[in-house]
Amino acid sequence: MKTGFCIFLLLFSLHPLAQQRITPLNTDTIPLMTEVVIKGYESQKRLLETPAPAAVVSRNDIERFSPAALTPAINAVPGIRMEERSPGSYRLSIRGSLLRSPFGVRNIKVYWNDIPFTDAGGNTYFNLADQSSLGQIEILKGPGGSLYGANTGGVIILHPDELPLSPENEGAENRFRAQVTGGSYGLASENIQWKFRNKNISSSVTQSHLQSDGYRENTRLRRDVLQWNGSAYLSEKDKLDWILMYADIFYQTPGGLNLEQMMDNPRMARPDAVEKKAAIYNKTPFAGISNQYRFSKHWSNVTSLMFNYSDFTNPFITNYETRKETNLGLRTKFVYHLTAGKHDVKFTAGMEWLRNYAAINNFGNINGKPDTVQFRDKMWARQVSPFLQGEWQLGKRFRLQAGVGSNLFVYHYQRLTDPDPSKKGKTLENQLMPRIAALYRITEDISVYSSLSKGFSPPSIAEVRPSDGNFYSNLQPEFGWNREIGVRGHTFQNRLQFDISVYRFKLRDAIVKRVDSSGADYFVNAGGTNQKGIEIFAAYTLVHNHLNFIQNIRLWSGVTLNDFIFTDYIINNKNYSGNALTGVAKTIWVGGLDISSRPGLFLNTSFTHTSKLPLNDANTAYASAYDILLAKLGWKKHFSGFSLEFFAGVDNALNQLYSLGNDINAAFGNRYYNPAPGRNYYGGITVAF
């Protein structure tokens, strides 16, 4: 019955992340879908004109779900998997890149507009980004090293929720929004936002607070974020963008359970996690500026600077760790743009420089308090990534992109507690990362594209020096080639949208997580992986008429098909070649129904089926398939000068027992599972004026 429902949604649906907005042409036709602009790869073009596997999570998509988490909005994108092992503990992967991420975000480059958000050590604290301040999340799938440095997973570009700046703006405009939410398991959140815009400045100030007691024992969460971002015209040729953010997050980590424990009591925590008061404390100020300057009609430059400092504390089952991290970043690019007749040519050349310094101390953990010193370490990392790209548009139908990037990664480490605390270092072999892509407009509404790209990703600092406290200087970068072809467009008077891509990614020296008998993580190079996939989304607009009682009805769906296997993978005389890639489901179906009415009532639903997935490299343990149903019902009304919205929702309406974030390759006790909350509810109110 559930499978039939998924198939129904797949056949008659439309993807929720509609990279498009509906604006009426006239009363006799279905409105034209005007796509948002894709900024990645310097395209500045509509998705239909972009030769890349890309997707966009809009502000509307984020608001379709609970204000407590980004997880369901991002997981609606085919090929993307966001996990939350406990509230606030995010993991994010693009096309299987989760293999090397026990926590956090690795092997994916993240930017705030043009400002680097990922540090030189290869880590991104994605859980510090507050969803109430996000206007759009742009996702570029597959290796993006030709412009964005070292990665094999892909690139994520965060865009702020602020009023667009234009020289034609007249007068000053102020907007305020306040939202309060409460729900099951002690969920409580509030956020306040003020937006200001005039002819020369647009800015947004956001304050947010989120807390939860958590579904499981030892899963309390508290997060506070204060953020100011904006943009300003300094002159007709000069524009400045900025972000100032302070984030303070605390969340407890309950530890994994084995299958018997999860079935007996999914709300329990691992006993030693409670005893050791396992948790994460992270206080991070982040500052970034980006300057766009146009020298002439053809030449321009964008230069961005980033600074952040993280005070990170982690009482863990095996130890008590403190980290003081300082990060600096610079990104600059020069663009030459020439239009001559049918030809539109653009060249981009630039460089990204990132530097990380971390003082890492490990102590014994006595009831959540630091005890005897185990290690005192210092680590330095530096990445330099030059890049060059050319783009040629011939008429309206053909577009060609070709680029190449490189990455120099150097790290040093020093163990102050050793008898010989001398500084050691390593320079990893530099590699070229080319990319070539072409797009052809078959018709005005349908295009086909193809791309070939190489990815390269050195081990992160957290992999060179993992939680077991050892240094793994023999760990090598992973690299591979991705081949892809796709078709996208809209038809039936713009009622039907579709986006289909087929790819094959062959990764060598894949970095894979292992767990020792104490529960600490470490990493090894696997032989490689062969990753073949198909990603589809489709959307159909059944009703769109502002004069009707029911103004909009949309069905949407996405499907991800993964055929990922290990190749030439032998460790400790065990041959895993031919086994399915750990932690990756073969099939994920997502679909739903959105309805809105003239009185202001609306309903957003989504249904996700995830097939079983292997929990270890040997494929001897699997997580069972599961189905998740979400729904949000609300009423929104615009009055003179302000708007009011009431909403209520249910997550996991089928009350499924599943783990959204497994501890893969758990070596001791088969503690793979981190049970997600059962059926839970939320509700709230939003006021804007």
Q: What is the DSSP string of 36-60?
A: PEE-GGG--EEGGG--S-EEEEEHH
DSSP three-state, residue 236: coil
Cβ–Cβ < 8 Å for 504, 531: yes
Domain ranges of the chain: 2-173+183-688
The β-bridge partners of 448 are: 440, 487
How many whole angstroms separate alpha carbon 541 and alpha carbon 264? 45
What pLDDT does residue 667 have? 67
The β-bridge partners of 450 are: 438, 485
Structure token digits, residue 405: 């990037």
Query: pTM of the entire structure?
Result: 0.92
Structure token digits, residue 85: 């092992």
The DSSP string of 117-169 is -S-TTSEE-GGGS-GGGEEEEEEEES--HHHH-SBSSEEEEEEE--PPP-TT-
Chain centroid to CA 408 = 24
Structure token digits, residue 632: 């949000």
How many whole angstroms separate alpha carbon 527 and alpha carbon 566? 8
The β-bridge partners of 193 are: 177, 206
Mean of pLDDT values over 133-155: 92
Q: Which residue has the higher pLDDT, 107 or 328?
A: 328
Please check the confidence at residue 568 and state whether its pLDDT lies above 60. Answer: yes
DSSP three-state, residue 630: strand
pLDDT digits (tens, 9 = 90+) for 481-521: 999 999 999 998 889 999 999 999 999 998 887 777 776 77
How many whole angstroms separate alpha carbon 407 and alpha carbon 456? 8
Residue 11: phi and psi, rounded to 5, are -80, -30
Please check the confidence at residue 4 and state whether its pLDDT lies above 60. Answer: no
What pLDDT does residue 430 have? 84
Domain 2-173+183-688 fold is Maltoporin; Chain A (2.40.170)
How many whole angstroms separate alpha carbon 474 and alpha carbon 114? 33
Cβ–Cβ < 8 Å for 455, 151: yes
The β-bridge partners of 350 are: 333, 387
The DSSP string of 549-607 is SEEEEEEEEEEEEEEEEE-S-EETTEE-TTPBPTT--SEEEEEEEEEEETTSEEEEEEE
Predicted confidence band at 531 (pLDDT cuts at 50, 70, 90)? very high
Query: Could you report how far apart the first and last alpha carbons of the chain are, in Å?
Result: 45
Cβ–Cβ < 8 Å for 501, 37: no
What pLDDT does residue 31 have? 39
Environment class of 72 (CB within 10 Å of its CB; exposed 0-12, middle 13-18, buried 19+): buried
How many whole angstroms separate alpha carbon 24 and alpha carbon 18? 16
Please check the confidence at residue 338 and state whether its pLDDT lies above 60. Answer: yes
Predicted confidence band at 103 (pLDDT cuts at 50, 70, 90)? low
What pLDDT does residue 102 have? 63
Instruction: Provide the residue count of the chain.
Output: 689
- Which candidate, 529, 521, 509, places its Cα nearest to that of 464? 521
What pLDDT does residue 572 have? 79
What pLDDT does residue 546 have? 84
- Which candidate, 447, 548, 563, places its Cα nearest to that of 505? 563
H or E segment to which residue 274 belongs: helix 271-275
Cβ–Cβ < 8 Å for 528, 566: yes
What pLDDT does residue 170 have? 75
Mean pLDDT of the chain: 90
How many whole angstroms separate alpha carbon 239 and alpha carbon 339? 23
pLDDT digits (tens, 9 = 90+) for 454-490: 998 888 888 898 877 888 888 889 999 999 999 999 9
Chain centroid to CA 67 = 17
Predicted confidence band at 304 (pLDDT cuts at 50, 70, 90)? very high
How many whole angstroms separate alpha carbon 642 and alpha carbon 328? 42
Judged by average pLDDT, the poorest of 30-39, 187-196, 200-209, 248-257 is 30-39
Residue 41: phi and psi, rounded to 5, are 55, 25
CA distances from 402 to 41, 396, 439 (A): 10, 18, 12
Judged by average pLDDT, the poorest of 57-61, 228-232, 660-664 is 660-664
Judged by average pLDDT, the poorest of 322-326, 584-588, 599-603, 664-668 is 664-668
Structure token digits, residue 340: 């001559």
Cα 177–180–677 angle (5° rounding)?
A: 130
What pLDDT does residue 1 have? 39
Chain centroid to CA 455 = 18
What pLDDT does residue 235 have? 93
Please check the confidence at residue 678 and state whether its pLDDT lies above 70. Answer: yes
What pLDDT does residue 515 have? 76
